[in-house]
Amino acid sequence: MDAPANEGLDPRIPHAHPSPGQYRLGPQAVRRAVGRADRRIVARTAQWRPTPVDRVMIGLSKSANRGQIWVGVAALLIAVGGPARRGAIRGTLVLGASTLVATKLLKPLFPRHRPPAHAVPGQRRFGDAADTPSFPSAHAALAAAFTTGVAIESRTAGYLIAPLAGAIAYSRVHTGAHWPSDVVAGSAVGVTVALLTQRFWSAHGQNAA
């Protein structure tokens, strides 16, 4: 016998039940479908048992406030020199551009509420929820923008810091600060902003190492 469609979902998080008209392709239908997927993912991850990873995720999320961790990474890359140094410079510059796009342009256009306080266990959360719109995730945008900017100049350096960027982006969902689609959209914003810099600022070489 098949399991009920809502099995395993946290009853404290509201779940919308689709009607036949909701399957039409359109902005509202897409928004509802994404919302349902977000709630399902968050509800399932909320059932995970507490582990030391919870504290690590909180630390990573805090470290990325206002891009602080990326300034530190940039300093290390500048010290390395060569392509890594050029990557640090490009990555640092795109931090500002991605921040403007995510926080000043897109957040006002899509004033989405953040996950409710009870969406994830209390030990995963830190402080009060931000009062800014949830969509897109600025933390994810900064992580993706910096990493992509570095990778444009130095693929090696980009590969090395990519896991850190991914962990910080995921931490925003793990700590209940964002819905998963906020993080996906923020990452897309960051990558796009960084790639667009190549239109007026070419990489140093075609085979940057």
Second CATH level (architecture) for the domain 51-199: Up-down Bundle (1.20)
- For residues 87 and 149, the answer to whether their CB atoms sit within 8 Å is yes
In the block, tokens 């900017």 appear at 149
Q: What would the two tokens of residue 89 be?
A: 């410079």
The pLDDT value given to residue 30: 84
Half-sphere exposure of 131 (CA within 13 A, CB side): 0
- Looking at the chain, the domain(s) classified CATH 1.20.144.10 span 51-199
> What is the pLDDT tens value at each position of the chain, 209 positions in all?
444 444 555 555 555 555 554 455 677 888 889 889 999 999 998 899 999 999 999 999 999 998 899 999 999 999 999 999 999 999 999 999 999 999 999 999 988 899 998 888 888 887 766 788 899 999 999 999 999 999 999 999 999 999 999 999 999 999 999 999 999 999 999 999 999 999 888 877 654 44
